[in-house]
Amino acid sequence: MKQGKLIVLSAPSGSGKTTLVKYLLHKEELNLDFSISAASREPRGGEIHGKDYYFLSLREFKDKIKADEFLEWEEVYRDNFYGTLKTEIQRIWDQGKHVIFDIDVVGGLDIKRIYPERTLAIFVKPPSIEELKIRLKKRKTESEDKINMRVAKASTELATAPQFDAIVTNDDLEKAKAEVFQLVKKFIT
């Protein structure tokens, strides 16, 4: 069985980790492929099944939990399950690539625990909780209620930062991009 490395980017929702993941994916020399998670939530505008997520019904998701098909899974928000399928990692390793994850802090630390040596776990820190709220509002993809739920969760998530291999503060996007690039490059070579 071929095994590459695992790069985890975790952060509170709205910290800009998705932008950083996309940036790293464009860097061919890093040889990364995105771990497409399974999710039981509805697709948001423009999201594509099999590209952004494997969108499953709650029922389908729970069946896969029972069948032990997940490396890790979690009920991130109520009835919104997210998880990494074991087949997804293997699909990417079989191509001779490293896996990059855009995943929440609990899932990220689970991956690190399962593959301690192969995983680089990076915590992307928002400049502040206030700034996080502004970013989520600007994104206009969630209702006020959902934004509040995500902001409340962010405080607990911030407390996990010291358990990660590295912390990158995203107050200046260009600087954050350069930092994650260097971290990943060093880890895979």
Q: Which residues bind ligand 5GP (CB under 6 A)?
A: 13, 37, 41, 72, 74, 76, 82-84, 102-104, 106-107
Q: What HEC string does 67-107 produce? A: CCCEEEEEEEECCEEEEEEHHHHHHHHHCCCEEEEEECHHH
Which distant-in-sequence residues (6+ apart) come within 8 Å of 70 by Cβ? 38, 64, 83, 84, 85, 86
Work out how close the CB of 83 gets to ligand 5GP at its nearest, in angstroms, rounded to a whole number.
5
Q: The dihedral of CA 141, 143, 146, 152: what is its sign?
A: positive
The rounded distance, in Å, linking the Cα atoms of 6 and 30 is: 12
By beta-carbon proximity to ligand 5GP, the closer residue of 72 and 179 is: 72
Q: In terms of CB distance, is 71 or 189 closer to ligand 5GP?
A: 71
| Cα angle: 52, vertex 57, 61; to 5 degrees | 85
Nearer to ligand 5GP, 29 or 34 (CB): 34
Q: Which is nearer to ligand 5GP, 6 or 103 (CB)?
A: 103
Instruction: Work out whether the CA dihedral 138, 102, 42, 72 comes out positive or negative.
Output: negative
What is the closest distance, in whole angstroms, from the C-beta atom of residue 29 to ligand 5GP in the complex? 25
CB of 30 to ligand 5GP, least distance (A): 20
Nearer to ligand 5GP, 88 or 179 (CB): 88
Q: How far is the CB of 172 from ligand 5GP (least distance, A)?
A: 22
CB 4 to ligand 5GP: min, Å: 18
